Amino acid sequence: MSKKALEGIRVLDFTTMAAGPTAGAMMADYGAEVIKIERPVRGEDGRKFPPMVDGESLSHCWFNRGKKSLAVDLTDPEGLEVVKKLLPTANVILENFRPGTMKKYGLDYESVRAVKKDIVYASLTTFGQTGKYVSKPGYDIIAQAMSGIMSVTGEADGAPQKSGFPLGDLLGGLNMFTGVMTALYHWRDTGEGQYVDISLLRTLIYINTPLIHCNLGPERMSKRQGNHHPTMCPYGVFHCKDGDIVMAAAGKRIWESLCDLMGRPEWKEDPEYAEVSDRARNQMTLIPLINKWLTDAYGGQDEALKALDAAGVPCCRVYNEYQVWSDEEFRLNGWLQEQPTMPGMDSKPSFITRTGNCGMSETPAEFRRAPLLGEQNEEILRELGYSSEKIAQLEQRWPHQSLDRHGKGGL
């Protein structure tokens, strides 16, 4: 097997919950050694995040796949000493605490750089490291609201809506991964480390930029439009007798094919519908006509989709999560796979999940299971020169999940 893309890179991962752990898990997918540093007894809060199976979190199994776990008490001087002994061995540090938290332990960027000059140090927060919001607590939904994304999501006559999944957390984690990878590329060429500042809010403002730009013209375009689009039509959710489908016929050629399929060739030249800007302007009239055609002409989704596919009109069903997992095409394409959970999760030893974020011909992602709390304590403490007797003493003070209970087994 070829060398993994990030093999030889060591990451100390202090992150919790979803956004920060996403970045660390992605680095582990591509071969980095990621050591998750968490408190004893309970571990980080993500270990209690539902859904729970046999007392363990499936979310933890996903967000911390492929990592090692070191359970130490940073409020104990000896615990802090263990972590500080690891610093010179690390290439990357990930953390997502409020600004100032890591400094209390002497683990902030400036302190770490003093002992590891070329460190790549990435911090992820809601509001960044500067400004009047810097000390405010925040979560994904706060970033969605303040980025403007919620203001353009939802029905036109309804309240602002958040995304159906944690958009800020997952994109923030992906952004953290991207920032660290860019910094590592610079480090490889120059030997220089750097500080990487990731903000959930900045991430969502970045992806909301196209809608922000829409408002630079004389008319406000970025407003709630339900399941349709302010500047393109047909482009949204439409109704069949037995359920909903999505159709996207914004381009002129595709629109003309749809006109022929609907038996409305005259719409190709109709000034109300001929160009995409005309259709967008008149979509409140056009959308009901398309919905009526779908329900009158076809017995249901299958017939409608078959006809639309034959006409070259982009279309699909609106899947729920169970339909995603059960679509064989996704497995054949290598987008979904079975991933092991953890020892002790006997009622669910594996679960279906997606594979790497992209296909790589030479260095593909490889998933390994998430760690039990403190599973690699002995391994890491031995590496740092601790004796068996000292390790036993420390593990009495820093309780973690017993491998005897769950059974041994490496990643």
Active site positions, annotated: 169
Round to whole Å and give the CA distance between 309 and 222. Answer: 30
3-state secondary structure the chain: CCCCCCCCCEEEECCCCCHHHHHHHHHHHCCCEEEEEECCCCCCHHHHCCCEECCEEHHHHHHCCCCEEEECCCCCHHHHHHHHHHHHHCCEEEECCCCCHHHHCCCCHHHHHHHCCCCEEEEEECCCCCCCCCCCCCCHHHHHHHCCCHHHCCCCCCCCCCCCCCHHHHHHHHHHHHHHHHHHHHHHHHCCCEEEEEEHHHHHHHHCHHHHHHCCCCCCCCCCCCCCCCCCCCEEEEEECCEEEEEECCCHHHHHHHHHHHCCHHHHCCCCCCCHHHHHHCHHHHHHHHHHHHHHHCCCHHHHHHHHHHCCCCEEECCCHHHHHHCHHHHHCCCEEEEECCCCCCCCCEEEEECCCCCCCCCCCCCCCCCCCCCCHHHHHHHCCCCHHHHHHHHHHCCCCCHHHHCCCCC
Q: Whose structure tokens read 């615990």?
A: 79
Round to whole Å and give the CA distance between 270 and 282. Answer: 12
How far the first Cα of the chain sits from its last, in Å, is 17
Per the DSSP assignment, residues forming a β-bridge with 247 are: 236, 315
Round to whole Å and give the CA distance between 343 and 30. Answer: 23
Label residue 55 left, alpha or beta by phi (over 0 means left) and psi (-120 to 50 means alpha).
Answer: left
